[in-house]
Amino acid sequence: MTNRRMFIKKSALATAGVGMLASMPMAMNSCMGANEKLVCGLIGAKGMGFADLQAFLRQPNTECAAICDVDENVLNQRIADTEKIQGKKPLGFKDYRKLLEQPDINVVIIGTPDHWHCLPMVEACQAGKDVYCEKPLGNSIEEINIMERAAQRYNTVVQVGMWQRSDPHWRDAVDFVKSGKLGKIRTVRTWAYQGWMEPIPVKPDSEAPAGVDYDFWLGPAPQRPFNPNRFHFNFRWYYDYAGGLMTDWGVHIIDYGLFGMGDPSPKSVMAMGGKYAYPDDASETPDTLQALYEFDGHTMLWDHGTGIDGGYYGRNHGVGFVGNNGTLVVDRGGWEVIPERKQNKDLMDRVDYIKGTGKGLDLHMEDFCNGVRDRNQDLNANITVAANTARVAHLGNIAQRTGKRLYWDNASSKFIDDQEANSYLVPAYRAPWKLPQV
Q: Name the residue among 400, 93, 327, 411 with its Cα closest to residue 424.
A: 400
DSSP assignment string, 368-379: HHHHHHHT----
pTM flag (> 0.85): yes
Burial of 248 (0-12, 13-18, 19+ CB in 10 A): buried
Report the greatest alpha carbon distance in the chain.
73
The pLDDT of residue 357: 87
325 within 8 A of 347, measured Cβ to Cβ: yes
- Helix intervals (H) in 101-180: 118-126, 141-153, 168-178
Query: How many alpha carbons fall within 13 Å on the CB side of residue 362?
Result: 7
DSSP state of 71: B
Measure the CA–CA gap between 379 and 382, rounded to whole angstroms.
5
Angstrom distances, CA of residue 54 to CA of 134, 195, 383: 14, 27, 22
Domains of the chain and any CATH numbers: 2-165+363-383 (3.40.50.720), 168-357+390-422 (3.30.360.10)
pLDDT in tens, the chain (438 residues): 334 444 444 444 433 333 333 333 333 344 566 668 999 999 999 999 999 999 999 999 999 999 999 999 999 999 999 999 999 999 999 999 999 999 999 999 999 999 999 999 999 999 999 999 999 999 999 999 999 999 999 999 999 999 999 999 999 999 999 999 999 999 999 999 999 999 999 999 999 999 999 999 999 999 999 999 999 999 999 999 999 999 999 999 999 999 999 999 999 999 999 999 999 999 999 999 999 999 999 999 999 999 999 999 999 999 999 999 999 999 999 999 999 999 999 999 999 999 998 899 999 999 999 999 999 999 999 999 999 999 999 999 999 999 999 999 999 999 999 999 999 999 999 999 999 999
H helices of 240-313, in order, are 244-248, 250-260
Q: Are 186 and 409 a contacting pair, CB within 8 Å?
A: no
User: To 10 degrees, what angle do helices 48-57 and 72-86 make?
Assistant: 20
Single out the residue of 339, 185, 207, 344 nearest to residue 259, CA to CA.
185
